Amino acid sequence: MITKMKKITFLAYHKEYEDFLGSLRELGVVHVVEKQQGAADNAELQENIRLSTRLATTLKLLQNQKLGKGVVPSTDGGEVARGHEVADEIEALLAEKNRLTVQLQTYIKERDALQAWGDFEPSDVQRLREAGFQVGFYCCSEGNYNPDWETMYHAMIIATISSKVYFITVTKAEEEVDLDVEQVKLPAYSLTRINAMCLETQEALEANEQQLTTYAEKEIPALKAALNAVQGEIEFSKVVLSCEQAAGEKLMMLQGWAPASGELAIKAFLDESHVYYEISDPTPEDNVPIELNNKGFFAWFEPICKLYMLPKYNELDLTPFFAPFFMVFFGLCLGDSGYGLFLLLGVTGYRLIAKNIKPSMKGILSLVQILAISTFFCGMLTGTFFGVSLYELPWPFLQRMKSVLYLDNNQMFRLSLILGAVQILFGMVLKAVNQSIQFGFKYAVATIGWIILLISMAVSYLLPTVMPMGETVHLVILAIAGAMIFLYNSPDKNIFINIGLGLWDSYNMVTGLLGDILSYVRLFALGLSGGILASVFNSLAVGMSPDNVIAGPIVMVLIFVIGHSINIFMNVLGAMVHPMRLTFVEFFKNSGYEGGGKEYKPFKN
């Protein structure tokens, strides 16, 4: 359900405005309506946004830094000033790291260039030049090398690598060397010196990395404190800029939203603040912020709704209505009791062992637990347990369960279609309710007509003895439903437009409804494919294990664990994605869900 909101308008004296905002932030329940004017031109706000981005980037860098085994980052409270210093120091370290990286690449390139020539001192070559001799370094392919150069230019082959000849010539300084080959320019260091420089640079890079690791171990709290402080200043500046000036810029007017449940506390605060205020109910034109307020089981499914989009304020919150369906759909898609039991035990064990679990994380873990329980019971419909068919075992208990629960592939296929038809029809009921709430009952008449038509057709098909198809009662019901569909399609338009729109809706319903229901076949297909893969891995584990007392069980267990780990990962991913697709596309579409609500974010520290 959606929390009821109240619209609040504040009017404060300009000299007391910022103090009032500070008190309002301490209260921490008012969602301030932010306006964009002035934000782009405010130098202080833009500087704080840049600083926030810089701090967030630095924080992410440290959080991704690999720590030593067993090392836990510090969680002690950090100082804001120290956080800014850390950001500066990290930037200096990163600049030095970039310089060292470029330098190392240059040294490696020069070292590679010297590898073919061996280790010699450039000073020796210089001494030959001072003595009147010219030494040239050349490279060419073996086919292009001319042995006559050894007589003409005293050429000497230094190395032959990958069909390339590396050679030097030694001539007198005034003698001209005319060779149509590549002349190599060597660095001014020996190979020994280059290797030493590479080693020194690598050690400097390792020291740089170690400094980053040290910062990651100790300074993350300081960065978080600085980031929170800057983000608080940004929010405060946005609120300051969101006001409207009145009475010759003497009064500052601000609008916001707060939960109706806190109206008395807000009134008491505003009375003490000595500001003029007005509290009113939202109008249809208002863009009211949304706070979902579901309890218990339904609250665990709120993150799934938020993945799509929040409802509008005057819409139904569909979270409680799709939650049971989603739970069942997940169980059918994963479809293996063993996998469900494994997930349940794993998450439950983690909750018992882990400490300081965040409240939001607790909700997600509870969701996984309830989905695992659904998987366990849905898996009992087919009797699969880690790919093994339990109902093939001759145990009396399992055979009794089979007689009560077991569904074959044809029955599972039909079950998927029935669930799809039920959810879509339920969505249409919710659409009618939503239309009645938003626009009035007459706008829901056409939708109710479709519901009556579809239910009557289903009853006539499934229970012909109760209401035979084509008999008088059925025809009367169809006539009433047709009148509702064609005459009340758009109550504010004339009868001819209504009939035309009714025909168009009929076409869309006939073509779309069948496709929507067939989409639910994926519930059966995913469960079936997952079970087949699980049994294949079991067969591989048994068939590929060698006939050895020691190696056989080890290989079998390894194939079993690795195979089922892959299958669980793939199937859990599919069991999340496809029920979401059915919920967001088929169910939300047929329930008339529009969405687009903005999340309620109170102005607070």
Per-residue pLDDT tens over the stretch 159-203 = 998 889 999 999 988 888 888 888 988 888 888 999 999 999 999
Calculate mean pLDDT across residues 96-112.
92
Distance, CA of 366 to chain centre: 19
Is pLDDT of 38 > 60?
A: no
Per the structure, the complete domain to which residue 489 belongs is given by: 418-518
Is pLDDT of 249 > 70?
A: no
Same-domain check for residues 13 and 25: yes
* Residue 221 domain-assigned (yes or no): yes
Which residues have C-beta within 8 Å of that of residue 205, sequence separation ≥ 6?
Answer: 97, 100, 101, 104
Calculate mean pLDDT across residues 54-74.
77
Nearest to 207 by CA among 96, 342, 73, 287: 96
Residue 515: other Cβ atoms inside 10 A: 9
Burial of 8 (0-12, 13-18, 19+ CB in 10 A): buried
Same-domain check for residues 441 and 472: yes
Bridge-partner residues for 171, per DSSP? Answer: 134
* Residue 498 domain-assigned (yes or no): yes
Nearest to 590 by CA among 437, 458, 435, 479: 435
Per-residue pLDDT tens over the stretch 520-556 = 998 888 888 888 888 888 888 888 878 777 888 888 8
Calculate mean pLDDT across residues 300-316.
87
Calculate mean pLDDT across residues 15-33.
77
Cβ 339 vs Cβ 527: under 8 Å: no
**3-state DSSP call for residue 402?**
helix
Q: Which residue has the higher pLDDT, 39 or 8?
A: 8
pLDDT reported for residue 276: 77
**Which residue's entry shows tokens 């600083």?**
51
Hey, CA dihedral for 183, 185, 190, 191, is it positive or negative? Answer: negative
Same-domain check for residues 427 and 508: yes
Calculate mean pLDDT across residues 244-248.
61
Residue 140: other Cβ atoms inside 10 A: 16
Q: How far apart are CA 40 and CA 37, in angstroms?
A: 7
Q: Which residue has the higher pLDDT, 169 or 230?
A: 169
Same-domain check for residues 145 and 173: yes
- Please tell me the least confidently modeled range out of 201-205, 317-321, 599-603: 599-603
Same-domain check for residues 50 and 60: yes
Residues in the chain: 605
Kindly indicate the confidence band of residue 370, based on its pLDDT and cuts at 50, 70 and 90: very high
Same-domain check for residues 171 and 252: no
Same-domain check for residues 145 and 93: no
Same-domain check for residues 440 and 498: yes
R_g (Cα) of the chain, nearest Å: 37
Per-residue pLDDT tens over the stretch 121-135 = 888 888 888 888 999
Calculate mean pLDDT across residues 480-499.
74
* Residue 429 domain-assigned (yes or no): yes
- Please tell me the least confidently modeled range out of 329-343, 437-451, 490-504: 490-504
Which residues have C-beta within 8 Å of that of residue 70, sequence separation ≥ 6?
Answer: none
Q: How far apart are CA 137 and CA 335, in angstroms?
A: 72
Which residues have C-beta within 8 Å of that of residue 364, sequence separation ≥ 6?
Answer: 300, 303
Cβ 423 vs Cβ 442: under 8 Å: no
Q: What angle do CA 558, 559, 563 make, to 5 degrees?
A: 120
**3-state DSSP call for residue 126?**
helix
**3-state DSSP call for residue 369?**
helix
**3-state DSSP call for residue 5?**
strand
Count of H-run helices and E-run strands, the chain: 20, 11
pLDDT reported for residue 248: 56
Residue 265: other Cβ atoms inside 10 A: 12
Q: Which of 32-36, 245-249, 365-369 has the highest mean pLDDT?
A: 365-369
* Residue 437 domain-assigned (yes or no): yes
Cβ 374 vs Cβ 336: under 8 Å: no
pLDDT reported for residue 243: 66
* Domain stops at, among 291, 309, 324: 291
Per-residue pLDDT tens over the stretch 294-307 = 888 898 998 888 88
Q: How far apart are CA 261 and CA 265, in angstroms?
A: 9
Structure tokens, 382: 């087919």
* Residue 572 domain-assigned (yes or no): no
Kindly indicate the confidence band of residue 329, based on its pLDDT and cuts at 50, 70 and 90: very high
Burial of 314 (0-12, 13-18, 19+ CB in 10 A): middle
Hey, CA dihedral for 140, 146, 149, 152, is it positive or negative? Answer: negative
Same-domain check for residues 14 and 47: no
CA distances from 526 to 147, 156, 332, 377 (A): 73, 72, 8, 16
Burial of 15 (0-12, 13-18, 19+ CB in 10 A): exposed
* Residue 281 domain-assigned (yes or no): yes
Bridge-partner residues for 11, per DSSP? Answer: 253, 276
* Residue 453 domain-assigned (yes or no): yes
* Domain stops at, among 239, 267, 302: 239
Same-domain check for residues 75 and 221: yes
Is pLDDT of 271 > 90?
A: no
Kindly indicate the confidence band of residue 342, based on its pLDDT and cuts at 50, 70 and 90: very high
Cβ 82 vs Cβ 222: under 8 Å: yes
Same-domain check for residues 424 and 507: yes
Q: How far apart are CA 481 and CA 269, in angstroms?
A: 55
pLDDT reported for residue 344: 93
Q: How far apart are CA 578 and CA 329, in angstroms?
A: 9
Q: Is the pTM higher than 0.75?
A: no
Q: How far apart are CA 496 and CA 578, in angstroms?
A: 41
pLDDT reported for residue 40: 52
Same-domain check for residues 163 and 174: yes
* Domain stops at, among 518, 549, 566: 518
Report the chain's mean pLDDT, rounded to a whole number: 84
Q: The domain spanning residue 3 has which CATH number?
A: 3.30.70.120
CA distances from 538 to 156, 331, 388, 543 (A): 67, 21, 8, 9
Q: How many domains does the chain have?
A: 4
Residue 88: other Cβ atoms inside 10 A: 11
Nearest to 275 by CA among 245, 252, 308: 252
Nearest to 155 by CA among 163, 165, 431: 165
Give percent above pLDDT 70 in the chain. Answer: 94
Q: How far apart are CA 512 and CA 383, in angstroms?
A: 34
Return phi, psi of residue 406, to 5°: -60, 135
Q: HEC string of 479-545?
A: HHHHHHHHHCCCCCCCHHHHHHHHHHHHHHHHHHHHHHHHCCHHHHHHHHHHHHHHHHHHHHHHHCC
Calculate mean pLDDT across residues 57-77.
74
* Residue 392 domain-assigned (yes or no): no
Q: How far apart are CA 518 and CA 536, in angstroms?
A: 28
Q: How far apart are CA 254 and CA 32, in angstroms?
A: 8
Kindly indicate the confidence band of residue 37, based on its pLDDT and cuts at 50, 70 and 90: low
Nearest to 531 by CA among 417, 407, 386, 434: 386
Per-residue pLDDT tens over the stretch 380-438 = 998 888 888 888 888 888 888 888 888 888 989 999 999 998 999 999 889 888 888 87
Distance, CA of 295 to chain centre: 25
